[in-house]
A = this chain, B = another copy of it.
Amino acid sequence: MIRAAVVGATGIVGQQFLVALKEHPWIRVNALAASERSAGQTYRNAITDRSSGALRWFCDEPPVEEVMDMPVANAAALSTGEVDIVFTAMESGPAKMLEPKYAAKVPVISTASAFRYDKDVPILIPGVNADHARLLETQRVRRGWQGFITPTPNCTTCGLAITLKPLNEVFGINSVVMTSLQAMSGAGRSPGVIGLDILDNVIPYIPGEEEKVETETQKLLGQLQGDVIQAAPFGVTCTCTRVAVLEGHTEAVLVATRKPCDVSSAIKAMREFAGGDDISGLPSAPQQMIVVNEDPFRPQPRLDRDNDGGMATTVGRIRPDHVLENGLKYVLVSHNTKMGAARGAVLVAEMLIRDGYIGK
């Protein structure tokens, strides 16, 4: 069994890691870390509200009993001697400081954006750009680390990149216009989205989000040439908004392809997109990377976010566009805190274990 540490274990994404790793066939959690405030307590105590006695557990799934009595270490002093991999769920600031310390010794899979845009750091989605993993070797050597850092993409990038991948492979892409209607869980809980701000409302701006999606999509769909990822040569332009939805990002996509792309060919490409052969056999992999639903009222975040355990991206409303040359429009729903966060990161770990990047 691969031994894992979860850093940021008391927060919402950390808890999602604990859920994603519960009874995992390959990976066992054997260390937890969080900020100094929680250090030295059992996990149960660290997430218990003192005044009310209530458990601060934020997932829909029940609390993971297996870790309740484990001690919580101070993230700044986490010993990596006993672990084979570190999953981190931190804000960008602490991630910038602490992840290199861990990576000096062991592989780090991170949901933070701190290192996403570094040249020698691949952003991985199994089934989309597994070949970029080769860059990890370059990173190790260049930085003199025994481990490495590989971040998962922004949750909004994830479904977009997955659905663009087969279209790019089959038809080539010229440009992408995307408007997102994002769930509140993407903003976390500190305080995340305030109820007073979002009820009967839309918030049309999520700081930094549009740039992240644009840059990451180009990087993810780019080509690794030597030890450099050449960003995909098509433009991506986004408007990212927040709506009163708990989980599941909805994205309205307009894509212009190089070769003509009719609706049935697009459906076929998406349905046949297996994520390469590289995800078959991974424990967290969805049966289908992309579920195409031809009901015109789908996908809907509440009805489709949990498809295939939140690991499939659901696409609908595929239809031609007559404004851009070879234009195609569709709507996707992707589970931002499953495939788009902790479970997606565990899927990356599984791929890297299988391919020998992680292990004892």
Contact = CB atoms under 8 A, between A and B. Distances in A.
Interface of A: 51-55, 58, 60, 175-177, 179, 181, 184-185, 189-205, 207, 235-237, 239, 241, 243-246, 250, 252, 254, 294-303, 316-317, 321-324, 327, 329, 331
A357 B112 CA distance: 58
Nearest to A54: B295
Given A197-B195, A297-B54, A237 B175 contact: no
A196 B185 contact: yes
Contacts of A246: 196, 199-200
A296 to B, nearest CB: 5
A185 to B, nearest CB: 6
A202 B250 contact: yes
A300 B203 contact: yes
A235 B192 CA distance: 38
Contacts of A301: 200-202
Given A199-B200, A204-B250, A241-B331, 4 more contacts: A184-B196, A184-B199, A190-B191, A195-B199
Contacts of A203: 297, 300
Given A199-B195, A245-B202, A236 B323 contact: yes
A192 B196 contact: yes
Contacts of A299: 204
Given A54-B296, A295-B54, A237 B329 contact: yes
Interface centre among A179, A303, A331 (most CB of B within 10 A): A179
Nearest to A323: B235
A321 B58 CA distance: 31
A179 B331 CA distance: 11
A179 B176 contact: no
A179 B239 contact: yes
